[in-house]
Amino acid sequence: MTLELPVDLLFGLNLDLNLDLTKVMTANAIVLPVVLPLLAAFLMQPLAQVSRTLARLLGPLVLALGAWIILNAWLDVGPAPFSVAIGGFAAPLGIVFYADQLALLFALAVQVFTLLFWPGLGAAAKADAAADRQRAPRRDALALLLASAATGLALSGDLFNIFIFYELAAVASFGLVCADGSGRARIATLRYLFVSAFGSVLALVGIAILYLQTGTLNLAQLAQVAPETLQGPIGLAAFALLLIGFGVKAELFPLNAWVPEVYATAPARVSALLAGLVSKLAILVIVRLLILVFQQPEASQLLLVLGVLGVLTGEFSAWRAQDFPRLLAFSSIGQLGLVAIAFSIDGTTGILAGTAVALHHLIIKSALFGLANRWSGGLDALTGAAKGAPRAAGLFVLFALSLVGVPPLWGFWIKLLIMVGLVQGGSPLDLLALGAILLATAVEAHYLFRVALRLYQPPVQDQASRLAPPARWDTGVAYLLGACLVVISVAITPATEALRVLAQQTGDVLLYIDTVFPQPLAYKE
């Protein structure tokens, strides 16, 4: 397959033929943020034997490079979506990456957030520094694998390829959760592993059914043939299986029993990555399937019902939670239920609201888990923590206000958007969801403000000294994310407009198909 003509280079990149070559290379380089972390992860352990410092720096460097490549592709080739045929094999025979604004946004978020919550940063301050040095290369390798898998989930346009990256994210997160080696973390991981393996099997069955019905795994081709082949109960059954499978990482209602134990026992930064990032990418996969392949209303309704159950169970369990990481974990279940509800709303409004609430939760929950790095005890122990760590407490209040949806903040506008969308939908199910959101908001406000009040109570004797303030890096990251939140809240109109453009692009099925297949397939029957 040696190619002579430069025109042949354009084969996989389906843009206008008169685009210059550098743009093509910039676009084709979009595989690098997925591939380079893999390369770095493979070489991590040998490298650590040569130079420990180099091995420690390798991960952050690769992630920074990945962020730069994605940004470059976005600015140079975007804002129109483009697709890249990996190996030069045109879809549907080969695997394609589809990069629209949504995919690029989340791919970028993966690099940035993995960098901000890099598990290796500042971890050596522990007493068992020697054991930590032993584990560090392996842990860093797993973190890189997680970043690569999450980026792949955002970009891939092939269902089986998505499944591979989903599995990679799962296996890498098993290792990261029990990397610090407490017995409770291992038990939590074991349950997570069972649920996750169960979900993966079901997702695989769903994919097999899709392949049996349609004979293809390419999302664009699936979108083409779905109206004839996937209507009716078989298509719905396949969607239900895929929803259950990908719902494990997306913390959807019946599959989230692993969440509280894992987030309570895993290292806080890993919890931040799983709750903030990985859950969003799993939702993203479900949304792509919903938009492209399963357009029947029953599919959205299924997502809506699971979302409502998630919101109610999550928020009420959070209300009863006795320690800070568990409270965050249950609240994360509730918020992801809200994401599911938002995405089940018809049309651009739904995608806009869903993306907004997903980004909002990504920013806030990651930052909160970062703060929980040192606040991992019971809620009682937080009494008076504001005295020792006034900035961290202030940030907590800011995030709590936005989570609940207090007016000037971004969280308010998002909840408003969802409620308006539900009212416009107007079916009894929609109104039920509306009621559930209002109820859950009240519960959410109660437990979050209870914690905030506790932080500002006068400290009990001898407790203030026991509770160290969050590490400087984590507070800094929380500051940064808090600043993001404030900026978006102030510039709410342009931010929503930008998201609306993104949502319109995401919802355009024909655009997806035309981008992946610029000419009609030659051999199509």
Partner 1 sequence: MPMRNIASLVLTAGMAFLLLVIGADLALGYPDMRVGAEYLRIAGPELGAANIVTAILAGYRGFDTLGELSILFAAATAASLVLGHRRADARRDPPGGLVLSAGADLLFPLLLVVGIFIVVHGHLTPGGGFQGGVILAAAFFVALLANPARTLNHALLGWIEGLAGAAFILIGLWALVEDGHFLTPLLPLGTMGELVSAGTLPLLSVAIGLKVGAELAGLLAHLADTEAPDR
Q: Please, which of residues 188-207 interact with partner 1 by CB under 8 A?
A: 202
In the numeric block, the tokens 């999302």 are attached to 219
Collect all residues with Cβ–Cβ distance below 8 Å to 503 and sequence separation of at least 6. Answer: 102, 348, 351, 352, 355
Of the candidate residues 57, 212, 438, 442, the single one contacting partner 1 (CB under 8 A): 212
Q: Among residues 203 and 392, whose Cβ is nearest to partner 1?
A: 203
Assess 255 for contact with partner 1 (CB under 8 A).
yes
234, 421, 440, 340 alpha-carbon torsion, rounded to 10°: 30
Q: Among residues 198 and 479, whose Cβ is nearest to partner 1?
A: 198
Contact between 284 and 351 (Cβ < 8 Å): no
Report, in Å, the least distance between residue 355 CB and partner 1: 26
**Binding region for partner 1 (CB under 8 A) out of 227-235, 376-384, 417-425, 454-462:** 227-235
Q: Among residues 169 and 363, whose Cβ is nearest to partner 1?
A: 169
Of the candidate residues 55, 70, 73, 95, the single one contacting partner 1 (CB under 8 A): 95
Task: Tell me the C-alpha distance between 437 and 431, whole Å.
Answer: 10
User: Which residues pair with residue 83 across a beta bridge?
Assistant: 98
Q: At what angle do helices 472-490 and 390-404 cross, to 10 degrees?
A: 40
Q: Is 329 helix (H, G, I), strand (E, B) or coil?
A: helix
Residues of span 44-63 touching partner 1 by CB under 8 A:
44-47, 49
Q: What number of chain residues touch partner 1 (CB under 8 A)?
A: 83
Q: Among residues 23 and 500, whose Cβ is nearest to partner 1?
A: 23
**Binding region for partner 1 (CB under 8 A) out of 78-86, 376-384, 485-493, 509-517:** 78-86
Assess 265 for contact with partner 1 (CB under 8 A).
no
**Whole-angstrom distance between the N-terminal and C-terminal Cα of the chain?**
27
Assess 124 for contact with partner 1 (CB under 8 A).
no
Of the candidate residues 14, 101, 279, 313, the single one contacting partner 1 (CB under 8 A): 313
Assess 277 for contact with partner 1 (CB under 8 A).
no
Contact between 213 and 227 (Cβ < 8 Å): no
Task: Tell me the C-alpha distance between 416 and 131, whole Å.
Answer: 49
Q: Among residues 201 and 453, whose Cβ is nearest to partner 1?
A: 201
Report, in Å, the least distance between residue 510 CB and partner 1: 20
Residues of span 18-37 touching partner 1 by CB under 8 A:
24-25, 28-29, 31, 35
Report, in Å, the least distance between residue 521 CB and partner 1: 9
Q: Among residues 104 and 353, whose Cβ is nearest to partner 1?
A: 104
* Longest Cα–Cα distance in the chain: 79
Alpha carbon of residue 455 to chain centroid:
29
In the numeric block, the tokens 């098993």 are attached to 174
The two three-digit tokens of residue 441, written as one number: 């908001």
Contact between 24 and 12 (Cβ < 8 Å): no
Report, in Å, the least distance between residue 479 CB and partner 1: 32
Asked, as a colleague might, if the bond just before 79 is cis with ω within 30 of 0, I would say yes
Assess 317 for contact with partner 1 (CB under 8 A).
yes
Assess 473 for contact with partner 1 (CB under 8 A).
no
Q: Among residues 152 and 482, whose Cβ is nearest to partner 1?
A: 152
Assess 240 for contact with partner 1 (CB under 8 A).
yes
Assess 475 for contact with partner 1 (CB under 8 A).
no
User: What count of other Cβ atoms lies within 10 Å of the Cβ of residue 99?
Assistant: 25
Report, in Å, the least distance between residue 450 CB and partner 1: 21
Task: Tell me the C-alpha distance between 290 and 230, whole Å.
Answer: 12
Contact between 159 and 213 (Cβ < 8 Å): no
Assess 273 for contact with partner 1 (CB under 8 A).
no
Assess 110 for contact with partner 1 (CB under 8 A).
no
User: 97 — phi, psi (to 5°)?
Assistant: -100, 135
Assess 318 for contact with partner 1 (CB under 8 A).
no
DSSP class of residue 275 equals I
Assess 152 for contact with partner 1 (CB under 8 A).
yes
Of the candidate residues 58, 70, 104, 172, the single one contacting partner 1 (CB under 8 A): 172
Alpha carbon of residue 64 to chain centroid:
19
Assess 233 for contact with partner 1 (CB under 8 A).
yes
Of the candidate residues 211, 449, 456, 473, the single one contacting partner 1 (CB under 8 A): 211
Task: Tell me the C-alpha distance between 426 and 154, whole Å.
Answer: 32
**Binding region for partner 1 (CB under 8 A) out of 64-72, 85-93, 382-390, 483-491:** 85-93
**Binding region for partner 1 (CB under 8 A) out of 65-73, 251-259, 359-367, 452-460:** 251-259
Residues of span 366-405 touching partner 1 by CB under 8 A:
none
Of the candidate residues 54, 64, 257, 416, the single one contacting partner 1 (CB under 8 A): 257
Assess 93 for contact with partner 1 (CB under 8 A).
yes
Task: Tell me the C-alpha distance between 39 and 36, whole Å.
Answer: 5
| H or E element that contains 85 | strand 82-85
Residues of span 438-467 touching partner 1 by CB under 8 A:
none
Contact between 265 and 185 (Cβ < 8 Å): yes
Contact between 216 and 222 (Cβ < 8 Å): yes
Alpha carbon of residue 478 to chain centroid:
18
Helices (H), 120-258: 129-155, 159-177, 183-214, 219-229, 233-247
Assess 513 for contact with partner 1 (CB under 8 A).
no
Q: Among residues 149 and 356, whose Cβ is nearest to partner 1?
A: 149
Assess 227 for contact with partner 1 (CB under 8 A).
no
Of the candidate residues 70, 86, 351, 418, the single one contacting partner 1 (CB under 8 A): 86
Assess 121 for contact with partner 1 (CB under 8 A).
no
Contact between 516 and 81 (Cβ < 8 Å): no
